[in-house]
Amino acid sequence: MAVIKINALDGSVVEFVDEIIGSGAMKDVYFSPCKSYVVAFYRDELDHASIERLEMITGRYRESIFQHETGDYWKSFFCWPEKIVEHDGRIGVVVPSYQAHFFFDYGSVNNDFLNIKGKEKQGKWFASANNQNRFLDDREKGDWSKYLKISLTIARAVRRLHAAGLAHSDLSYKNVLVSPVEGLATIIDVDGLVVPGKYPPDVVGTPDFIAPEVVATAHLSKTDPARCLPNISTDRHALAVLIYNYLLLRHPLRGDKVRDLDPQKDETLSMGEKALFVEHPTNADNRIKLERVKPTELPWKDTNKLPYSITGPYISKLFERAFIDGLHSPQSRPTADEWESALIKSIDLIQPCVNPECKQGWYIFDNTLSPTCPFCGTKYNGLLPVINFYSEREKGRFVSDDHRLMVYTNQSLYRWHTNRFVTPNERLQAHDKKRQGYFVFHNHAWYLVNENMPHLINATTKESYPVGSQIQITDGINLLIGNERGDRLLNIQMVDSDC
């Protein structure tokens, strides 16, 4: 195939192989000879506002995210257009190629009848029980802990967009690539970003992820002040739906209530004005009826067996705000910041299932004396340490941080566990990434090995635990970690699931 060499609008040389490797709704995509980037040309002519938007996305907005001290951190979170090109009367963008882990290593079941081997891992393949169970090789699916990490990555990326004053406008499993084996995700199709008040959306979104107020007013003219168009608050709805999809493999609004006998009107009402959470605690009208559920959708669509509460105290509260309080009140929806914080705390609450055959492998501690994996029903037996974090707000006065850490063999303590002013995000310094200690179970007892905490003492006895020491942890023990900006107290709660 011929290699075409052109100049981007910034003057740099761009090359692409004259062979279409993929086509979307709006663009045709070509590989560069080295395959490190692609060139995507729009099939239709762009108006002046669309070109100006692309100039801002590849220019000022890109620079604001990637060209400063935390810029490298964000490169894996987005597939962000870098340059604008023009060839044969068509405008295009230069975009980095997807990383290797975002392509299927294995085909679909039954000799890859879907022909997905080597194709990109669009999130839609992993966001429903039916798709996972019917089509995907088990080696592509990952375990439940990885979907928590995928959700965290998406929330973090959306938080960064919103902090820059941008809205994605079409956040959905079509525009997110995931790799459940590694727990990674990246947001694609960034060239349609919405700048509120400046660049309106090109599309209203993807069905299943469009906010109810957008669906309900879609029949109005775009110039009608009552028409709701995609913005940051509608992104928040789509983000909540995505997280619910990935963690529970079902849609939060697609129950079995019929609003109208006309299928199109029923769809508009179900996703718009009359949208109702399938797990609404006081209104059961839109429950999922098990008699209508396919075997390949179980157990995920059984909301009695796997209710949203299995996502733990932090995530489940945000689901309630997103799909009960905020479903028809956009101002009440959780922000991407709040999702990020809830997911970080929830990841600290996961524990491994003791059943080696459990397909999900992990679950969130339910704060009971008999922790049980909701996915396979296996109970944990034995002593289970839980760490409750308290921080010093005034001299000698410690306040609960509403943050806990589940302990299991080789569980690690990091700086964000020992100091409330440290958060595991793009601002995390290199020295803060170093592990502070880890836990082991030895001779029927639990121990904390102090690796990097020089100011660790027993808060009650004042006994000092130097770096390198092993501390037996028992119920009620309080460990105090000294910090420059306020100490942190680790209160050990020992759950005895044998009792």
Domain 3-97: CATH architecture, name and number where available: 2-Layer Sandwich (3.30)
Percent over 70 (pLDDT), the chain? 100
Residues 178, 141 contacting (CB under 8 angstroms) = no
As a whole number, mean pLDDT of residues 430-450 equals 95
Domains of the chain, residue spans: 3-97, 102-348, 381-496
Residue 499 pLDDT > 60, yes or no?
A: no
Q: Which residues of 321-330 are buried (b: 16+ CB within 10 A; e: fewer)?
A: bbbbebbbeb
Backbone φ and ψ of 15, nearest 5°: -125, 145
Which residue in the block uniquely carries the two structure tokens 């075997």? 295
**What one-letter code names the amino acid at 143?**
D
Report the C-alpha gap between 338 and 402 in whole angstroms.
Answer: 14
- Which residues make Cβ contacts (< 8 Å) with residue 377, sequence separation at least 6? none
The C-alpha atoms of residue 99 and residue 37 are separated, in whole angstroms, by 10
What amino acid occupies position 81? P
CATH superfamily entry for domain 102-348: Transferase(Phosphotransferase) domain 1 (1.10.510.10)
What digits encode the pLDDT tens for the residues 309-346? 999 999 999 999 999 999 999 999 999 999 999 999 99
CATH assignment, 381-496: 2.60.200.20
Per-residue model confidence (pLDDT) at position 214: 95
Return all residues near 480 (Cβ < 8 A) that are at least 6 apart.
456, 457, 458, 459, 487, 488, 489, 490
pTM confidence score = 0.95
Confidence of residue 95 (pLDDT cuts 50, 70, 90): very high
